[in-house]
Chains A and B, each alone.
Chain A
Amino acid sequence: MAKISLRVNGKNQVIDAEPDMPLLYALRNDLQLNGPKFGCGLAQCGACTVVMDGNAIRSCVTPVSAAQKKPVTTLEGLGNTKKMHKIQQAFVDEQAAQCGYCINGMIMSTKALLDKTPKPTDSQIKEALAGNLCRCGTHIRILRAVKRASGQLA
Chain B
Amino acid sequence: MKTMELNRRQFLKGTGALIVSFNLFPSSPLFGQSTVGPGIDADPTQLDSWLAIAPDGTVTVFTGKVDLGTGVETALAQIVAEELDVPFSRIHMIGLDTAKAINQGTTAGSRSIERGGPQLRQAAAAARQELLKLAAARLNSTPEKLAVKDGVVSVTGDTRKTVSYGQLIGGKQFNAKITATGTGWDMKVAPEVRAKDFKEYKVVGTSQKRIELPSKLTGEFVYAHDVRVPGMLHGRVVRPPTITSKPASIDDSTAKTVRGFVKVLQEGSFVGVVAESEWAAINAAKALKVTWTQPQTKMPASADEVFAILKNTKSLRDQVTVNKGNPDTALAQASKTYEATYRWPFQMHGMMGPSCAVADVGKDQATIYTGTQGSFETRKAVSELLGFPEKNVRVLYREASGSYGRMGADDVSEDAALLSRAVGKPVRVQWMRDDEHAWEPKGPAQLDLVRAGVDPQGKIIAWDFADRGFPLTAASGRGLRLLASRQIGMKPTADGNSNGTQGGGEMYAFDNQKCAAPLIPWVQADETPLRTGYLRAPGDIGRCFASESFIDEIAADQRVDPVQFRVRYLGENKRGTDALMAVTKQARWQERPSPAAGSSGTKAAGRGVAISNRAGSICGAVAEVEVDKSTGNVTVKRFVLAHDCGLIINPDGLKNQIEGNIIQGVSRALMEEVKFDATGIKTLDWKTYPVIRFPEVPEIDIVLINRPEMPALGGGEPSSAPIAAAIANAIFDAVGVRLREAPFTPERVLAGMKKA
- A interface residues with partner B (beta carbon < 8 Å): 1, 17-18, 21-22, 25, 28-29, 32-35, 37-42, 44-45, 47, 74-76, 78-81, 84, 88, 91-92, 95, 97-104, 107, 123, 125-127, 129-141, 143
Contacts and interface: CB of A to CB of B under 8 A. Distances in A.
Given A44-B687, A45-B352, A137 B660 contact: yes
B318 interface: no
Contacts of A38: 225, 353-354, 430
Given A34-B226, A76-B218, A129-B694, A137 B663 contact: yes
Interface string B6-48: 0000000000000000000000000000000000000000000
Secondary structure of the A side of the interface?
loop
Contact of A101 (B228, B401, B432): B401
A137 B695 contact: no
Contacts of A28: 226, 278
What band does the interface of chain B fall in when counting residues whose beta carbon is under 8 Å from A? 35 or more
A102 B221 CA distance: 13
Given A34-B222, A98-B656, A130-B693, A81 B279 contact: no
Contacts of B694: 125-127, 129-130, 132, 139, 143
B352 A34 contact: no
B277 interface: yes
Contacts of A95: 209-210, 213, 652-653, 656
16 contacts: A21-B279, A34-B219, A34-B220, A34-B223, A37-B225, A44-B433, A44-B686, A45-B686, A81-B215, A92-B214, A99-B399, A100-B217, A101-B351, A135-B402, A140-B663, A141-B656
Secondary structure of the B side of the interface?
loop
B68 interface: yes
Contacts of A134: 352
Contacts of A130: 693-695
Contact of B217 (A84, A136, A143): A84
B186 interface: no
Nearest to B283: A18
A80 B402 contact: no
B402 A101 contact: yes
B226 A42 contact: no
Contacts, number: 175
A95 B214 CA distance: 9
Contacts of B432: 41
Interface of B: 68-71, 209-210, 213-223, 225-226, 228, 259, 277-279, 349-354, 399-402, 404, 430, 432-433, 652-653, 656-657, 659-664, 667, 685-687, 691-695, 697, 700
A60 B663 CA distance: 26
A134 B664 CA distance: 9
A103 B217 contact: yes
Nearest to A75: B219
Contacts of B354: 38-39
A56 to B, nearest CB: 14
Contacts of B685: 40, 42, 44
Contacts of B657: 98
Contacts of B351: 101, 135
A153 to B, nearest CB: 16
B664 A35 contact: no
A138 B695 contact: no
A140 B700 contact: yes
B433 A88 contact: no
Given A25-B278, A45-B352, A135-B352, A18 B259 contact: yes
Contacts of B71: 98
B213 A135 contact: no
4 residue pairs, one from A and one from B, having the closest CB atoms: A99-B69, A137-B663, A35-B219, A99-B402
A8 to B, nearest CB: 12
A141 B656 CA distance: 8
Contact of A97 (B217, B279, B664, B700): B217
Contacts of B652: 95
Contacts of A92: 209, 213-214, 217
Contacts of A21: 279
A79 B218 contact: yes
A74 B219 contact: yes
A134 B228 CA distance: 26
A37 B353 contact: yes
B255 to A, nearest CB: 15
B302 to A, nearest CB: 26
Contacts of B662: 137
Given A100-B69, A102-B352, A137 B664 contact: yes
A114 B353 CA distance: 26
Contact of B663 (A17, A37, A139): A139
Nearest to B691: A133
B213 A100 contact: yes
A123 B217 CA distance: 24
Contacts of B402: 98-99, 101, 135-136
A81 B210 contact: no
B259 A99 contact: no
A39 B433 contact: yes
A129 B222 CA distance: 25
A104 B219 CA distance: 8
